[in-house]
Structure 1
Amino acid sequence: MSRPTLLLVHGAWHGSWAFEPLTSILIDRGWTVKTVDLPTVHADDKAMLTLQDDADAVAAAIDSIDGPVVVVAHSYGGVPTTQGATDPKVAHIVYIAAFALDEGESLLGAVGGVAPDWWVIDGPLSTAGNDELPPHTLFFNDMSQDEADRASSRLLSQAVQPFSDTLTQVAWRDRPTTYLITEDDTVFPVVAQEALAARAGSQTARLASSHSPFLSQPDAVADVIEKAAQSVA
């Protein structure tokens, strides 16, 4: 089997920009890296879109790659990845503090069925963070204030519908997975991450990091991804 291509899938409100430090490190190590900007965050008509639109974007990105693929999914990005990364060429999935859900489950259900207070919902769209829990605290709590402010300024609104949509396919059932648990995560309790990792039968790695280790500790995240990819190559 040839060396796999790495496909990085961002989380809610984010974009492929969040992977820039990580991408640079992986390319320097000799890996081919692709990213996808999910349409429920980045499309002009995003308010009308669903989870399936994001899953289709992940599937299309995989389809465009020749040879084996390792998909790396962060947070909400784990949901369209689980739904959309069913192509046989997907050889491994790396979940980074991600929702590795099962058939019939939704992200909203996974967080208790009620939107957290820091999901600021305005009709069909949502933004992340409020006065009590700003993005710095939610996502970037192990970064400097300047770095966190720069990242926070790039967050966009996200369609609400995908959070309630349920999965009809489960990519992790048919291929090996790695789950990177972020131990200083404000957003995602460690016990919940551990439960999802165990259910998916994942190999686990752990970092004392915020919800966004690809920004705060990109070398360490690259090590985890590289280990998973080398198991395929």
Structure 2
Amino acid sequence: MRFPTFRSAAAQAAATLCLLTAAAAPAFAAPVKNIVLVHGAFVGGAGWRPVYNILIKDGYRVKLVQEPLTSFNEDVTATKRVLDSLDGPCVLVGHSYGGAIITEAGNDDHVKSLVYIAAHALDVGETEASNGKKYPNSTKAVIKTPDNFLYLNPADYPSDFAADLPRAQAEFEANAQMPTSAAVFTALIPDPAWKTKPSWYMVAKADKIINPDLERMYAARAHSHTVEIDGASHSVYESHPKEVAALIEQAAQQSAQ
């Protein structure tokens, strides 16, 4: 009888191990299926409905954060509360001031990647207010209440915030807007999540609320996968839902579990 040599036995064992490993490993990494959407200042979560509908149709599980806009810490807490409810990893999406929220909340372990939609992606030592002075916007619509909340003059809202939405829709949103604590615009973020997690960025080229050049700076600094939308107002997440959903889905597909 011929017995196998040590070398052939070792080779057989290695080959068997490779086969078992290959059988146990998935053929490809699955895309992230949870999406969390965070709205910005002066609006509520309902504006995400067109994007939500597309993502749900495409098989994603989508949750919306309804932050109170009463303080930065409370808004981050509201976002983390939603993240804690998830059954797995997610893509975290923020519009406008929502970008500052996801820059902080994005350090949560559930978050695989970040998507900024015409949003603030602050660095250490920066605030929305200080960056707005470096890159001035083109709206004069902001009004402060006696208790230090801000809102946009409803007469200016359609042209400044939502110029590419139907006029009736823009006027409704102007009168449904959520006043926002002035303090959120001076909030500091000690550990920006975009420094350690991949990001995607959408620049609204006709934005009057955040200077498009500031948006480009944020995107370039974070090495974000970036798209720019011609003629898009600050309400780009409502006026261009197909493009927004496509960017979010790209992030989900490339943020494999």
TM-score of the two chains, using structure 2 as the length reference = 0.81
**Runs (5+) with no aligned partner, structure 2:** 1-28
2:204 corresponds to 1:182:
yes
Which of 215, 223, 226 is 1:204 aligned to? 226
Runs of 4+ in 1 over 4 A off after TM superposition: 113-116
Q: Aligned equivalents of 2:64 and 2:255: distance in 1?
A: 19
2:183 corresponds to 1:161:
yes
- AA partner of residue 253 (structure 2): Q
SS at match of 1:93: strand
2:116 corresponds to 1:95:
yes
2:177 corresponds to 1:148:
no
1:36-74 residue CA offsets vs partner (Å, 9 max, x unmatched): 01122xxxxx3xxx2111112212211211111101100
- AA partner of residue 239 (structure 2): S
SS at match of 1:211: coil
Corresponding residue of 1:5: 34
SS at match of 1:210: coil
TM-score of the two chains, using structure 1 as the length reference = 0.89
Corresponding residue of 2:215: 193
Corresponding residue of 1:43: none
The 5 A counterparts of 1:33-182 are 33-40=62-69, 46=70, 50-112=71-133, 117-122=140-145, 123-129=147-153, 131=155, 134-182=156-204
Q: Aligned equivalents of 1:59 and 1:193: distance in 2?
A: 25
- AA partner of residue 36 (structure 2): L
- AA partner of residue 229 (structure 1): A
**Runs (5+) with no aligned partner, structure 1:** 41-45
Q: Aligned equivalents of 1:87 and 1:204: distance in 2?
A: 23
- AA partner of residue 220 (structure 1): E
**Deviation (angstroms), 1:97:** 0.6
SS at match of 1:153: helix
**Deviation (angstroms), 1:101:** 0.2
- Asked whether the equivalents of residues 99 and 196 of structure 1 are also in contact (C-alpha less than 8 Å), the reply is yes
Moved more, 95-104 or 137-146: 137-146
Larger Rg, first or second structure (1 or 2):
2
Q: Aligned equivalents of 2:152 and 2:189: distance in 1?
A: 23
Q: Aligned equivalents of 1:156 and 1:95: distance in 2?
A: 21
- Asked whether the equivalents of residues 154 and 171 of structure 2 are also in contact (C-alpha less than 8 Å), the reply is no
